[in-house]
Amino acid sequence: MQIDDPCRREVLTRLQRVKGQVNGILNMIEEGRECSEVLTQLSAASHAIDRAGLRIISEGLNQHAIATAAGEEPPMTREELEKLFLSLA
């Protein structure tokens, strides 16, 4: 499955934000910030990564539905998509 341009841009934007969050977390740790503050930011970064993964899976489901409706072979099987989805759990 190839990620289409709108999805690719959205995922890249999310991951650029995560990159900034991780840099901020590194700075927080280096500065000796409170554990609760660091963990809050780690949780936010983790959530953002999960959302990027779910967006990619959503694109796969969309491509599967479009191909199936058109009577074409989808780029991934339902089982492959399910396996990807479960890998995020």
pTM for the full predicted model: 0.82
Please tell me the CATH code under which domain 5-87 is placed. Answer: 1.20.58.1000
Residue 1 pLDDT greater than 80, yes or no: no
Residue 89 pLDDT greater than 80, yes or no: no
Rounded CA separation 26/28 (Å): 5
In the chain, what are the domain boundaries?
5-87
- pLDDT 10s digits, 8-59: 999 999 999 999 999 999 999 999 999 999 999 999 999 999 999 999 999 9
The per-residue pLDDT for 2 is 82
Contacts of residue 57, defined as CB under 8 A and 6 or more positions apart, other chains included, come to 81, 84, 85, 88
The per-residue pLDDT for 85 is 86
